[in-house]
Amino acid sequence: MDERKRRIAENEAIFRTVNDQIKAVTATLAGAAETMTVVCECGTSSCIDQIDVGLADYARVRSDSTLFLTKPGHDFPETETVVEKSQRFWIVQKHPGGQAEHARAADGSRR
């Protein structure tokens, strides 16, 4: 995996970890909340865009370590494919091979 692709993958993994922490806090404080606000999980380290997402959608994305939530247009076609689009967010999946394996290895909560 080249250096640019590695940096993109590292940035996405960091944002996913932040969102897992947001999910935990939301569950603790909000009780019966149906949505939460997460940070965009794109590979741009300076991106601070936020996304309102349903808890069920978030759980569905998190069930696969190769999936990430991004703002529309924040995908990196060289490392991932957009697999679902909505007005609020896109779901991207890491390409098979090195990208997907890196995403799985960086995901401490799932394999």
- pLDDT tens digits, one per residue of 10-50: 888 888 888 888 887 776 665 666 888 999 999 898 999 99
Q: Give me the pLDDT at residue 110, please.
A: 47
Q: For a pLDDT cut of 70, what percent of the chain falls above it?
A: 88
Q: Give me the pLDDT at residue 111, please.
A: 42
pLDDT digits (tens, 9 = 90+) for 39-87: 999 989 899 999 999 988 999 999 998 999 999 999 999 989 999 999 9
Indicate the residue type of 75: D
pTM for this prediction: 0.74
